[in-house]
């Protein structure tokens, strides 16, 4: 737990700067009340920092979260949204402030988690979704690709050529006919024969591997 105590110097420096800025900006318009003495917040927060961190840590169990909450505690103390009226009770006042900031932090984290969950639900992958491929599906797909490549290697060049143009380039019959200088009917016939021969080669490979 002690690993996050040295971080108090950082937020106490921030408190000093914030206090100076608030005093300078409000020096002309602000009229001190009887319940708002001239408080040296950096010194008070330094005095109570360790046990306040312990209180916050007991509720959050995260060192980074403790630092965030303590920053908010320091800022809230300087801003005096609920002014302290009795400096003899500054410790319980800071305690309530720390608890309140802890609750606000947890509420904010809860909203963030719900937002993330709603997003995850909206984009939840469905079966065979490429975003989260199932390992078995991936292995089967890879195995099929290997077998197809092996079978293509057993075909005549004319057959493998027309199959690759059709299924890897995505060409239509018309495009194949135009590029190869053959008729549309010739493309249909050649593709029919090539697919038949490819199926035969795939069956032969499967039979050999099963044996």
pTM for this structure?
0.40
Which of 34, 72, 66 is CA-nearest to residue 50? Answer: 66
Q: In the prediction, which pLDDT does 193 show?
A: 94
SS (H, E, C) the chain: CHHHHHHHHHHHHHHHHHHHHHHHHHCCCCCCCCCCCCCCHHHHHHHHHHHHHHHHHHHHCCHHHHHHHHHHHHHHHHHCCCCCCCHHHHHHHHHHHHHHHHHHHHHHHHHHHHHHHHHHHHCCCCCCCCCCCCHHHHHHHHHHHHHHHHHHHHCCHHHHHHHHHHHCCCCCHHHHHHHHCCCHHHHHHHHHHHHHHHHHHHHHHHHHHHC
Q: In the prediction, which pLDDT does 189 show?
A: 94
pLDDT digits over 83-110, tens only? 777 888 888 888 888 888 999 888 888 7
pLDDT digits over 4-58, tens only? 444 555 555 555 555 555 454 444 444 333 344 577 888 998 998 988 888 888 8
Domain boundaries, the chain: 2-122, 135-210
One CATH from 1.10.10.10, 3.40.605.10, 1.20.1260.10, 3.90.960.10 for 135-210: 1.10.10.10
Say whether pLDDT at 207 is over 50: yes
Which carries the bigger pLDDT value, residue 163 or residue 114? 163
């Amino acid at each position: 737990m002690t690993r996050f105590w040295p971080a108090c110097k950082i937020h106490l420096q921030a408190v000093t700067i914030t206090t100076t800025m608030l005093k300078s900006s409000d020096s002309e318009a602000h009229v001190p009340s009887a319940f708002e003495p001239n408080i040296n917040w950096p010194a008070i927060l330094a005095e109570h920092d360790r046990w306040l961190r312990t209180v916050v840590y007991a509720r959050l169990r995260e060192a980074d979260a403790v630092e965030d909450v303590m920053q908010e505690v320091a800022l809230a103390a300087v801003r005096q949204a609920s002014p302290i009226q009795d400096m003899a009770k500054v410790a319980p006042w800071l305690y309530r402030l720390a608890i309140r900031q802890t609750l606000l932090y947890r509420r904010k984290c809860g909203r963030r988690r719900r937002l993330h969950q709603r997003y995850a639900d909206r984009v939840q992958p469905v079966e065979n979704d490429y975003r989260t491929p199932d390992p078995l599906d991936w292995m089967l797909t890879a195995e099929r690709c290997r077998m197809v490549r092996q079978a293509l290697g057993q075909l005549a060049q004319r057959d493998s050529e027309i199959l690759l143009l059709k299924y890897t380039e995505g060409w239509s019959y018309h495009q194949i006919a135009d590029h190869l200088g053959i008729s549309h009917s010739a493309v249909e016939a050649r593709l029919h024969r090539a697919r038949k021969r490819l199926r035969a080669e795939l069956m032969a490979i499967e039979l050999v591997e099963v044996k």
